[in-house]
Chains A and B, each alone.
Chain A
Amino acid sequence: MSEFLQQLLNGLSLGAIYALIALGYTMVYGVLRFINFAHADVFMVGSFIGYYAGKLVPEGTLWGGFSVLLAAMLGCALLGMSIERLAYRPLRGSPTLNVLITAIGVSLLLEYSGQVFFGAAPRTFPPIFPSQNFQFGSLTLSSNQIAVIVVAALLMLALQFIVHRTKIGTAMRAVSLNPRAAQLVGINNDVVISFTFGLGSALAGAGGILYAMNYPSIDPLMGVMPGLKAFVAAILGGIGNIRGAALGGLLLGTVETFVSGSQWSTYKDAIAFGILIIILLFRPAGLLGKFTVEKV
């Protein structure tokens, strides 16, 4: 029983990070209807910003940790917005496939310029937050795991608030529903799309810091695998649906952890992706996605 609870906790803390990255995929898809493959590399840049910013603040302090987190989120938001401005906006109105290929190009650009600027060898991420272990019976909680779950939950609540309770959030939903009609009622689509990229990338930056806190070895290709998993999580929950992305991330992280702890650990990715296929067979639009018929 305690092993089950421990694995559940491990799974939730991994899933929370997948969920944070998945939110970025799903938000961009929601407004622009394309997958921003460069998102996983924004996540990587987030941990590198944390790596360099972490050297400027004293290790293991709360204010230091939060300022590093904030720096990474701001840096990533700027990066995401400039990617949108430079690479995607000129292609607005062209077929989705063109934008998709551009996204892959931006992703490779970030990965390999990362290898030039940061070096290819793995770096050690500094312990920016104070860390401690708590013992509840046979259940061990590390403060890092708790921090991941709490920070992720807070960010998701904040996102929910922004999307549903603010003016810009309403505009985002309007653009997502029908970009042309949104323009007709006086919404500046460029501003909304730019904001969406900034918001999604800030979450990826936070994900990068949380990931590096738990797995403190970072390198320029670190985004590839978590990015793929988060993409799957976004599809699993129903792409374009914010709550779906969070649910998908948590589900994927938990399943992966339980499979890793069993004797089939080598098949963990195969089983996780197998579950995705089964869910999509029964619910083609994902767990929380609405199935829409495309009119010809």
Chain B
Amino acid sequence: MIRLPRLLTTALALLAACAAPAAEGPIKIGHYASLTGKDAAFGVATRKGVLLAVEEINARGGVLGRPLEYLVEDMQSKPGEAATVVKKLISRDKVGVMIGANASANSLEAAPICQNAKVPMMAISSTNPRVTQIGDYIFRICFIDPFQGAVLAKFARTSLRAQRVALLTSTNSPYSVGLSAVLRERFTALGGEIVAEQKFAEGDKDFRAQLTAIRAARPEVIAATGFYSEAALICIQARSLGLTGPIIGGDGWEAPQLTELGGKAVEGTYYCTYFSADNNAPEVQSFVRRYQVRWSNERPEGVSALGYDAVHVIAAAMERSGATTGPALRDALAATRNHAGVTGQTTIDRQRNSEKAAVMLAVKNGRAEFFETVTP
């Protein structure tokens, strides 16, 4: 009869030994991103911002005395892949908090999985409103399409003084459809007219047909609400058809590939985004310097800054609540107010979206330059 208690104590000791490192080991942060494929520019730039934040936090001693461990999975810009890699991060790697995707379509795939697993998710640049409506564990660090659509409408109407706008929408991207819908509504409300609406599908390369139809409607401004790879080809083909007016777009345009692919054709285009490295605010300039030191002199993109802020918002919520996952972290994230980051003051609203101002950039001499700040 002596053996049994001994066995029990050994078992208990073993259990304790197993449990202890789990509680004191690193805090795991998951990230699903397109590091290859057609959206790779966003994923790669986001990863660089996130990694910079994680390294800086770890150099200062981590969060709650524990280091952060960053686990990133590539979803290859493919539909369906986001769900697969998020399941892997949650069930195999056991991450407690997730950094989300750039494209809304990917976040919409992954969000239900995070919601069911009660893993708080912070989407980066998924601006479609439906993303955070999936559940109370889903947050985003960026503004949403209605806001962006309103910014573009106001910019076209007041800054470009346009009366006639043509819309070119990517019908299989929820992001583009959402942006176009709000742009149409707000621009008409401001007294303008949408003179033509054309559609395409992501991955298309020929837009001459749509642009020829648009040219017949004689718009002053063309709004192409898709992503950079299509936007660059749209600009090239629009210019070759003699459409020389301004072309505007949302944050989906923001990538160095826009000017690489588009060359001279993207001169005189404008897009809105969260962040400009030209902004003179001291916290922005200090971030730009640290980013350039870490990433061989590359300039940070808008999504890099968002990724950087996302990690800091999560770390701050962990420090406030003492929790590293689950409902307590969720509540702390929801209570984020006026967090000062490099993309401005972030406040998480009731729908778990971030409220912040937008900046308009103008493409000039092969570079996107700060144009103005817009609040609709």
Contacts and interface: CB of A to CB of B under 8 A. Distances in A.
Given A122-B229, A265-B198, A3 B236 contact: no
A67 interface: no
B199 A10 contact: no
Contacts of A257: 206, 208-209
Nearest to B243: A140
Contact of A217 (B198, B207, B216, B232): B232
Interface residues of B, number: 33
B245 interface: no
A293 interface: no
A265 B167 CA distance: 13
B241 to A, nearest CB: 5
B24 interface: no
A209 to B, nearest CB: 15
Interface of A: 3, 6-7, 10-11, 14, 119-122, 124, 127, 133, 135, 140, 142, 144-145, 214-217, 219, 225, 256-262, 265-266
Nearest to B214: A261
The 9 closest A-B pairs by CB, nearest first: A260-B209, A215-B205, A261-B209, A10-B208, A142-B240, A120-B36, A261-B213, A257-B209, A140-B242
A259 B236 CA distance: 21
A206 B40 CA distance: 29
B76 interface: yes
A119 B37 CA distance: 9
Contacts of A214: 206
24 contacts: A3-B212, A6-B212, A7-B212, A7-B213, A10-B206, A10-B212, A14-B206, A14-B208, A120-B36, A122-B261, A124-B261, A133-B240, A142-B241, A214-B206, A215-B205, A215-B206, A217-B229, A225-B203, A259-B209, A260-B207, A260-B209, A265-B199, A266-B199, A266-B201
Residue with the greatest number of chain A CB neighbours at <10 A, chosen from B200, B203, B213, B232? B213
B244 to A, nearest CB: 10
B281 to A, nearest CB: 32
A3 B263 CA distance: 27
A46 to B, nearest CB: 16
B210 A260 contact: yes
Interface of B: 36-38, 40-41, 76, 171, 198-201, 203, 205-210, 212-213, 215-216, 229, 232-233, 236, 240-242, 257, 260-261, 263
A122 B209 contact: no
Nearest to B207: A260
Nearest to A2: B216
Given A217-B232, A265-B199, A121 B212 contact: no
A220 to B, nearest CB: 11
Contact of A258 (B198, B209, B240, B241): B209
A44 to B, nearest CB: 13
A262 B216 CA distance: 12
A121 B38 contact: yes
A14 B171 CA distance: 22
Contacts of A256: 209
A269 B39 CA distance: 24
Contacts of B76: 120
Contacts of A133: 240, 242
B233 A215 contact: yes
A259 B263 CA distance: 29
A144 B236 CA distance: 12
A19 to B, nearest CB: 15
Contact of A216 (B200, B203, B206, B261): B261
Given A124-B261, A133-B242, A140-B241, A7 B36 contact: no
A135 B242 contact: yes
Nearest to B208: A10
A242 B336 CA distance: 68
A269 B110 CA distance: 30
B57 to A, nearest CB: 30
Contacts of B236: 216
Contacts of B263: 127
Nearest to A212: B205
Nearest to B213: A261
Contact of B241 (A6, A119, A124, A260): A6
B233 A144 contact: no
Contact of A265 (B209, B232, B260, B261): B209
Residue with the greatest number of chain A CB neighbours at <10 A, chosen from B36, B208, B241? B208
Contacts of A10: 206, 208-209, 212
Contacts of A261: 198, 209-210, 212-213
